[in-house]
C-alpha cells in the first residue's frame, strides 16, 4: 500500500471553487504528489486527450470536481452547454480512469439532482422520485448520470467510485460574475459595487422567500477527503450499489432575503434591498439531510456569517471572475 507521499492524486478542476479547496485540504494533510492540469493543458471533453493523460500519469485516486456551473441565469441561457460539457467531462474521466486501472474516485454532484418539490430535509433516497427544477434540469440530469455511471462501473468492474452531493457552496475562489454565478458570490459582487458606487438600492431576482442551505467550501473539501479516505466497508454500511451517494450539508437553511441582509451587513452596504418578483425563484426550498455523514463522524465547522466574512475578504483581494469550474 502506498504511503501519503507516494500516492498520485489527480484533482480535476483544481482552479475552481471546490477543486481549489480540495487542493488546500489535501496539502494540509501532507499530500505532496498531487496532479493538476489547466483547461488549456487538458481538455476534459476530449476523450483522446483524457485517455493519453491517464495512460501517462499512472493516477491512484481522482477527485472529480471539474464541471460547468452557474446560477439560474446561466442555466437558463446555456442549457445545451450545461448538459453536454458536464456529461462529456464525467464520461471521459470516469471511463478513462477505469481503463487505466484507477480503483478509487470521488465524484462531486449537486443538491439540484433532487426533485423540485422534494420533502424536506432531502434524503439520499429521494433521488429520481419527482420532477426536477426546470431552470437547472440539464445540469441536474448530467449530475445524476455521473452518480449512476460511478455505480455502474462499481457493479460491473469492482471499482470504488464514490459520490458526494454538496448543498449550495460558497467561499474563496468563487465566480463573482454578477449574472452567471451562484447566489452568494453574485450578491457579494452586487452589494460591493453598490457600496463603491454609492447606489441607493439593490434589486434581487425573485421574491426573496425561497430557503437555501449554504456550506463553506473548505468544509466541503474536508468532507470530500473524509469520505474518500473512509475504508470501503464503512462506506458500504451507509450506501447500496444503486444508492451510493452521500449528502453534504450545513444542517440549516435561511431565506434568500436573510442571506442578502447578512451580506449587506458584512460589506457595510446601507441602501435599500428590493426584490423583482417577475424573475424566477427556482426551487422553493433545498435543505439536505446530512444525517448519514454525521453518523459517519463528520460535521461542518464554519458558520454562515463567518464564511461570508471570509469570502468577502477573498473577493476584495481577488481578480477571479470565472464562468467555469473546470480543469482550467
CA distance 3 to 115: 41
CA distance 134 to 164: 22
Cell of 118: 422534494
CA distance 158 to 25: 28
Query: What is the phi/psi pair of residue 104, to 5°?
Result: -130, 130
Which residue carries 493543458 as its cell? 41
Query: What is the phi/psi pair of residue 100, to 5°?
Result: -90, 0
Cell of 153: 462501473
Cell of 137: 434540469
- Is 139 catalytic? The answer is yes
Residues 10, 63, 114, 139: which is the catalytic one? Answer: 139
CA distance 30 to 169: 25
DSSP state letter for 60: S
Catalytic residue numbers? Answer: 139
Amino acid at each position: 500500500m502506498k504511503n501519503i507521499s507516494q500516492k498520485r492524486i489527480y484533482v480535476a478542476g483544481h482552479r475552481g471553487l471546490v477543486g481549489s479547496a480540495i487542493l488546500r485540504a489535501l496539502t494540509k494533510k501532507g499530500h505532496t504528489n498531487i496532479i493538476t492540469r489547466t483547461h488549456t493543458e487538458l481538455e476534459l471533453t476530449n476523450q483522446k486527450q483524457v485517455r493519453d493523460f491517464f495512460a501517462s500519469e499512472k493516477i491512484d485516486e481522482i477527485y472529480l470536481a471539474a464541471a460547468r456551473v452557474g446560477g439560474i441565469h446561466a442555466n437558463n441561457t446555456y442549457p445545451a452547454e450545461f448538459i453536454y460539457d458536464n456529461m462529456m467531462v464525467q464520461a471521459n474521466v470516469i471511463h478513462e480512469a477505469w481503463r487505466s486501472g484507477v480503483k478509487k474516485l470521488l465524484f462531486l454532484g449537486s443538491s439540484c439532482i433532487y426533485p423540485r418539490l422534494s420533502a424536506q430535509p432531502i434524503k439520499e433516497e429521494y433521488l429520481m422520485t419527482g420532477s426536477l427544477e426546470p431552470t437547472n434540469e440539464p445540469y441536474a440530469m448530467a449530475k445524476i448520470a455521473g452518480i449512476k455511471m460511478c455505480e455502474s462501473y462499481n457493479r460491473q468492474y469492482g471499482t470504488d467510485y464514490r459520490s458526494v452531493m454538496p448543498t449550495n457552496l460558497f467561499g474563496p475562489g468563487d465566480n463573482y460574475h454578477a449574472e452567471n454565478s451562484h447566489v452568494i458570490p453574485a450578491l457579494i459582487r452586487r452589494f460591493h459595487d453598490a457600496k463603491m458606487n454609492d447606489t441607493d438600492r439593490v434589486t434581487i431576482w425573485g421574491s426573496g422567500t425561497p430557503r437555501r442551505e449554504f456550506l463553506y467550501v473548505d468544509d466541503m473539501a474536508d468532507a470530500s477527503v473524509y469520505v474518500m479516505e473512509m475504508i470501503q466497508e464503512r462506506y458500504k454500511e451507509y450506501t447500496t450499489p444503486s444508492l451510493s451517494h452521500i449528502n453534504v450539508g450545513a444542517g440549516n437553511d435561511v431565506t434568500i432575503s436573510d442571506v442578502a441582509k447578512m451580506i449587506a451587513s458584512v460589506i457595510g452596504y446601507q441602501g435599500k434591498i428590493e426584490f423583482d418578483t417577475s424573475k424566477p425563484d427556482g426551487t422553493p426550498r433545498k435543505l439536505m439531510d446530512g444525517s448519514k455523514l454525521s453518523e459517519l463522524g463528520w460535521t461542518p465547522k464554519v458558520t454562515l456569517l463567518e464564511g461570508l466574512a471570509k469570502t468577502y475578504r477573498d473577493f476584495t483581494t481577488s481578480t477571479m471572475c470565472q464562468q467555469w469550474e473546470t480543469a482550467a
